[in-house]
Structure 1
Amino acid sequence: MADEVVVFRVWDSPFSYRVELALALKGVNFRRAEEDLKNKSSELLLYNPVHKKIPVLLHAGKPIAESLVILEYIDETWKQNPILPVDPYERANARFWATYVDDKCLEILWRACWTRGEEQQKCISEAGERLRTLETALEGKKFFGGDTIGFVDIVVSFLTPWMEVLQEMARIRLLEEENYPRLCRWVRDFSSCDVVKETRPPREKLVAFFATLKPPN
């Protein structure tokens, strides 16, 4: 089909999930093309020759790479149920927090779960500071996007279930109610949305997958 929408993805990737959730929120039908990152398809290498990674959105034969770029493309292409604010200042603010999450939060949270000893304690402390900063963006709001799921919520979706599973497997406490009440409330509200429950990977499947990467203590 000339206007076919295809997502080149890996089922366990929170970056792939961003794209799939955005499309689901828009009500856009799409086909999933599952990739094996150890044996990347010729299509993936063709459509993303620079980074050679997922996700890639293929729309009407034209590829778009990088999850944040894809999210903006989706919002500009399908106008229904907007995920970015109309107001220019609010749009800029959403882009700021999305970039903050990718640049300042993702790696340190991952390292906090997979390192050990003194390095892990240092990562946990640093991750806590980053989460406290992120929580300020929820002041007076149900979601980062306001009353409904928006751009930043989609970007932060890795907190559930990915980060929940990882911290449990690593036997550490990162996202706790007493320290981050707004973020924990957000996790509950976000997780209770039907579109989120219908699209995210099963928790049990993630547990089994992460166990094959590196066993927890």
Structure 2
Amino acid sequence: MSGVKLLGVSGSPFSRRIEWALKIKGVEYEFIEEDLQNKSPLLLESNPIHKKIPVLFHNGKPIVESLVIIEYIDEAFEGPCILPKDPYERAIARFWSKFLDEKCLPAAWKALWSKGEEKDKEEAYEVFKVLNNELKDKKFFGGDKIGFVDIAANFIGFWIGIIEEATGIVLVTSEKFPHLCAWRDDYCSHVKENMPNREMLLGYFKARAEAASTATAPK
């Protein structure tokens, strides 16, 4: 097999999506840590449009955008399927992954870094309600096993809880979203060995929250 390399950031949910997909397929790879404050020539050359991680290199060719990379991994390597085989189910999986990236993540990020006012949380609550309803009869978005949508939802599964602790703004509770919380627990128990150090991330987000608080404090 030709060498596989992943250019990313170890604490990024988007990089971790790729690492988990590679693990499902049993693909060995080299991880190259990127400094987003001083972007490398490799990143700028391999992703000149967006200049973002992750970038997967296979056979010397770069593939960019995390969801696109996961589909590529699913098609390029042997092993368990990540996307459903049925064309309709594949389309549905793509729909939910798009919903997560375009609706859920921006709403959750905005709410988590707001001042905690309920009006700032409303959009996040609405998308979480949709996800909670989708999971009411399922263990995972993919059914009985982790699939494409579950990987796309890793920000909810792991990162949101850390940012909630860092900022003191709680969005996802078992009272409001029992099915989503049950999914989160199952998801984390399956992927815990492939997640970044929680204390490291918590320290990073606490420092960010403190800096934001200081910047907005009255002078």
TM-score range, shorter chain: over 0.9
Q: Any gaps of 5 or more consecutive residues in structure 1?
A: none
Tell me what 1:19 maps to. 18
Contact residue 19 and residue 194 of structure 2 kept, 8 A: yes
The letter of the residue matching 2:161 is E
The letter of the residue matching 2:125 is G
Q: Any gaps of 5 or more consecutive residues in structure 2?
A: 214-219
Tell me what 1:91 maps to. 90
Contact residue 4 and residue 30 of structure 1 kept, 8 A: yes
Structure 1 range deviating more: 94-103 or 169-178: 169-178
3-state SS in 2 of match to 1:192: helix
Tell me what 1:56 maps to. 55
Tell me what 1:163 maps to. 160
Tell me what 2:202 maps to. 207
The within-5 A match list for 1:72-111 is 72-111=71-110
Q: Is 1:123 aligned to residue 110 of structure 2?
A: no
**Alignment identity in percent?**
50
Q: Is 1:132 aligned to residue 129 of structure 2?
A: yes
The letter of the residue matching 1:186 is W
Distance in 2 (alpha carbons) for counterparts of 1:170 and 1:214 = 6
Q: Go from structure 1 to structure 2 and tell me whether the alpha carbon gap of 1:169 and 1:211 turns closer, same or farther (over 3 Å shift).
A: closer
Relative to the length of structure 1, the TM-score reads 0.94
Tell me what 2:217 maps to. none
Distance in 2 (alpha carbons) for counterparts of 1:60 and 1:139 = 42
Q: Shift in Å at residue 157 of structure 1?
A: 0.8
Name the Cα RMSD after superposition: 1.4
Matched length: 212
The letter of the residue matching 1:89 is Y
Relative to the length of structure 2, the TM-score reads 0.93
Distance in 1 (alpha carbons) for counterparts of 2:104 and 2:176 = 16
Tell me what 1:41 maps to. 40
